[in-house]
A and B are shown apart, each in its own frame.
Chain A
Amino acid sequence: MSNKPATLFDKVWDSHVVRKIEDGPDVFFIDRHFIHEVTSPVAFLGMEKRGLKVMFADKTFATADHNTPTINQHLPVKDPLSANQLKALETNSNKYGISHWGLGNPKNGIVHVVGPENGITLPGMTIVCGDSHTSTHGAFGAIAFGIGTSEVEMVLSSQCIMQPKPKKMRINVTGKLGKGITPKDVTLYIISRLTAAGATGYFVEYAGEVFENMSMEGRMTVCNMSIEMGARGGIIAPDETTYNYIKGRDKAPKGEAWDKALAYWKTLKTDAGATFDQEYTFDAADIEPMITYGTNPGMGMGITKHIPAALAGDSKSSYEKSLQYMGFQEEEAMIGKKVDYVFIGSCTNGRIEDFRAFASIVKGRKKADHVTAWIVPGSHIVEQQIKEEGILDILTEAGFQLRQPGCSACLAMNDDKVPAGKYAVSTSNRNFEGRQGPGSRTMLASPLVAAAAAVTGVVTDPRELIA
């Protein structure tokens, strides 16, 4: 190792390169691999066709999440195709000795929620999963990103994938966030400034006061959304907040192993003088509660603003197509628009802090009659916390029902689908056409904005409801 100043990203990446191929990708070693029912079956099938075996079964963890119902999980899954995928995950996991948290298992939940909460995700690791929101785990100072099914097969059979090293970007957010401004607003703001393709080809390090002061849940929300501006992933240097979150978790190192790990983790930061290919700095004071008005996550704006007349970088025809799909006009205000559905959950905002935020606004108010609300915890552990902290009582009192964990309406593979033409305020990560059901219209926002919409029935600035 040279003494040249290095970025956090370089330190973790370079220490995982098994072989460098000239004018080709790096052979990249993977410490932790998560699999779920949708993107893994064809990988197992491919291995079998080639006669390959799983190389390190203890480095892969399976959980069912994408395709699972969020009510009556104790009953057999009704959709035969979904049931078949869930069964395939279980069969494949058992066959190869992979730890499997299926439906009904107390550890079950969304892959990017259960990894961190069980201490599987640790600083300095390389983590992949056949899911683009694997970027979530970067909150711990890990290099984590989504892969395709061919790559799932590579990791299962050789614990490596072949990756060209991405370029490096740093995004600094300085200052302090105002009242009612959450990590989701920070990330939607950044994406609105960079556009949905603004970080393609890059791996992003988030730095500055705002992230230093952010909880692990918040950091996970921010890193989760990195892919929505095209970045392979996001990473935040581990610090006391990180160590405190990890300590004592089920699979976290303990005793001597903890001391050894901690000593390593403390080296995981960008050295002074290290350089990035691209760098941006934003001021926290410019960030409002955010909401999206279009059909990609870059089409977001401060909730009190008006829909712009055009979007820099996109053609007028694509922009108009997007607004037409949403049924919105240029120059319109978003405040006051009718909301039919509210979804809180997903790997973006399905953690305990998100439900605390939601409850803080809902408390003492009632759900608007015309709003259908889906309240979906990210895992059974989160569900348990919701109950223990009295959040469930607040929700019930206000007329909301708590559902069971899973990806749910974020991608609407299960029955949680927003009907065509209906408007949803959603704490998830994508507002693509039809993402929440064919013809559905999604407005992405924070748990506070979602709560404000759920009780008023229209798009509302949550700051008006905060005591």
Chain B
Amino acid sequence: MAYDKFTILKSSAVPMPIENVDTDQIIPARFLKATERAGFGDNLFRDWRYETDGTPKKDFVLNNPIYSGKILVGGKNFGSGSSREHAAWAIYDYGFRCVVSSFFADIFKNNSLNVGLLPVQVSPEFLDKIFTAIEANPKAEIEVNLEAQTITITATGESESFAINSYKKLNMMNGYDDIDYLQAMKDEIKQFAEKSLY
């Protein structure tokens, strides 16, 4: 599935200073019944965002109009639990293009990279700085520069670099995915398979 190319993202951010945000919170299992990839953003953080009767919970950050933007900033161990790619789809479909945390669960990180959602891992100190900046100004702009691999708080100029392997970086910048890559090496895979024990 094609996704938007990622180069430089300048946006305000939505703060979620909660640790261990698991994929069941991002999208509860009962919303995984679709056979197409559409509409998952509506149920993003469903049980934190809505009462059981569907009324929005006022104190939840996505329901607070002062916060908006294409960057979601979460506490450490973001995306733990289930391998459901629906979690990354839901975040992307809602309109986010980047998730920032001091620590990501592995499968969530892979899934995000595969669907065009950039996971940016920062130090715990820098994460605090981002939360502080948003607290001071809910519209504080954050700049994520994929090519330079930097994340910057525009108002203060504070910046940190983040890691991403050059293969994935190139994919994200061009909107390519792994399926394209693998299709181009089918003969090599076929030869490998012939030697395989199983």
Which residues of A lie under 8 Å from residue B55 when comparing CB positions? none
B80 at the binding interface (Cβ < 8 Å)? yes
Q: Does B156 contact A (CB under 8 A)?
A: no
Q: Who on chain B is nearest to A260 by CB?
A: B197
The yes or no answer to B148 lying at the interface (CB within 8 A) is no
- Min CB gap B148→A, angstroms: 16
Known: A132-B83, A158-B189, A200-B77. A84 touches B35 (CB 8 A): yes
**A contact residues around B5 at 8 Å (CB):** none
Enumerate chain A residues within 8 angstroms of B179, measured Cβ to Cβ. Answer: 46, 50, 52, 150, 153-154, 157-158
Q: Does B49 contact A (CB under 8 A)?
A: no
What residues of B have a CB within 8 angstroms of the CB of A315 in the complex? 19, 75
Say yes or no: A196 contacts B80, CB within 8 Å.
Answer: yes
Quick check: A430 and B33 within 8 Å, CB to CB? no
B166→A151 contact, CB < 8 A? no
In the complex, which residues 201-236 of chain A have their Cβ closer than 8 Å to any Cβ of chain B? 201, 227, 230, 232
C-alpha gap A39/B188 in the complex (Å)? 28
The answer to whether the Cβ of A25 comes within 8 Å of any Cβ in the partner chain is yes
Which chain B residues lie closer than 8 Å to A82 at the CB level?
A: 33
Tell me the complex Cα distance, A79–B20, Å.
32
Given contacts A29-B189, A230-B106, A264-B197, contact A162 B25 (CB under 8 A): no
Would A125 and B198 be within 8 Å (CB), given that A27-B185, A159-B189, A412-B29 are in contact?
Answer: yes
Mask of A287-323 contacts with B, CB within 8 angstroms, 1/0? 0000000011000000000000000001101100100
A261 to B105, CA, bound (A): 35
Asked if residues B20 and A197 are in contact (CB atoms below 8 Å), the reply is yes
A161 CA to B189 CA, complexed, in Å: 11
A240 at the interface (CB under 8 A from B): no
In the complex, whether A90 has a CB less than 8 A from a CB of chain B is: no
Chain A residues numbered 138-183 whose CB sits less than 8 Å from any CB in chain B:
145-151, 153-154, 157-164, 166
CB pair A41 B36 closer than 8 Å? yes
Q: Which residues of A contact B196 (CB under 8 A)?
A: 29, 31
Cβ A314 vs Cβ B20 within 8 A: yes
Using C-beta atoms within 8 Å of the partner chain, give the interface range for chain A. 35 or more
- B103 interface residue per 8 A CB criterion: yes
Q: Which residues of B have CB within 8 Å of A274?
A: none
User: Given A29-B193, A130-B83, A52 and B35 touching (CB < 8 A)?
Assistant: no
Contacts of A145 in B (CB 8 A): 107
A42 touches B178 (CB 8 A): no
- Would you give the 0/1 interface string for B177-198, flagging 1 where the beta carbon is closer than 8 Å to chain A? 1110111011011001100111
B93 at the interface (CB under 8 A from A): no
- Are A438 and B165 touching (Cβ within 8 A)? no
Cα distance A41–B84 when bound, in Å? 13
B29-A411 in contact (CB<8A): yes
B172 at interface by CB-CB < 8 Å: no
A69 → chain B closest CB, angstroms: 13
Contacting residues, chain B, for A158 (C-beta < 8 A): 179, 182-183, 185-186, 189
Within 8 A of A (CB), among B35-56: 35-37, 47, 52
Of B32, B76, B114, B183, the residue contacting A148 (CB under 8 A) is B114
Q: Which residues of A contact B132 (CB under 8 A)?
A: none
Q: In the complex, are the beta carbons of A161 and B178 less than 8 A apart? A: yes
With a cutoff of 8 Å between Cβ atoms, the chain A residues found around residue B83 in the complex are 39, 130-132, 134, 146-148
* A12 CB to nearest chain B CB (Å): 11
**In the complex with contacts A315-B19, A435-B24, A150-B103 CB distance below 8 A:** no
Are A314 and B19 in touch, CB under 8 angstroms? yes
The interface residues of chain B lying within 8 Å CB-to-CB of A84 are 33, 35
Q: What is the bound-complex CA distance between A439 and B84, given in angstroms? A: 21
The interface residues of chain B lying within 8 Å CB-to-CB of A52 are 179, 183
Looking across the interface, which residue of chain B has its beta carbon closest to that of A122?
A: B198
- B20 with A413: CB separation less than 8 A: no
**A62 interface hit (Cβ, 8 Å):** no
Task: Assess A230 versus B77: contact at CB under 8 Å? Given A39-B84, A150-B178.
Answer: yes
Say yes or no: A318-B32 contact (C-beta < 8 A), given A24-B166, A435-B24. no
Shortest distance between the CB of B102 and any CB in chain A (Å): 11
**In the complex, chain A residues whose CB is within 8 Å of the CB of B166:** 22-24
Q: Which residues of A contact B86 (CB under 8 A)?
A: 149
A466 at the interface (CB under 8 A from B): no
Chain B: CB-nearest residue to A17: B192
A130, A411, A420: which contacts B52 (Cβ < 8 A)?
A420
- CB-CB contacts below 8 Å: A428-454 with B: 430, 432-435, 438-439
Instruction: From B52, B178, B188, give the contact of A162 (CB < 8 A).
Output: B178
CA separation between A38 and B84, bound complex, in Å?
9
Question: A317 contacts which chain B residues (CB < 8 A)?
Answer: 17
Interface residue? A85 (CB, 8 A): yes
Bound-state Cα–Cα, A22 to B169, Å? 13
Given A124-B197, A201-B106, do A196 and B20 touch, yes or no (CB 8 Å)? yes
Given contacts A315-B75, A432-B25, list 11 more A-B pairs with CB under 8 A: A25-B165, A147-B83, A148-B88, A149-B86, A149-B111, A151-B114, A158-B182, A158-B183, A160-B182, A164-B165, A200-B80
Query: Please, could you name 26 A-B residue pairs with CB atoms under 8 Å apart, sorted by A?
Result: A19-B185, A23-B165, A25-B165, A29-B192, A38-B84, A50-B183, A52-B179, A52-B183, A66-B32, A79-B33, A131-B82, A149-B85, A157-B179, A161-B178, A164-B165, A197-B76, A197-B80, A200-B80, A200-B106, A296-B80, A318-B20, A411-B29, A432-B22, A432-B25, A434-B28, A438-B28
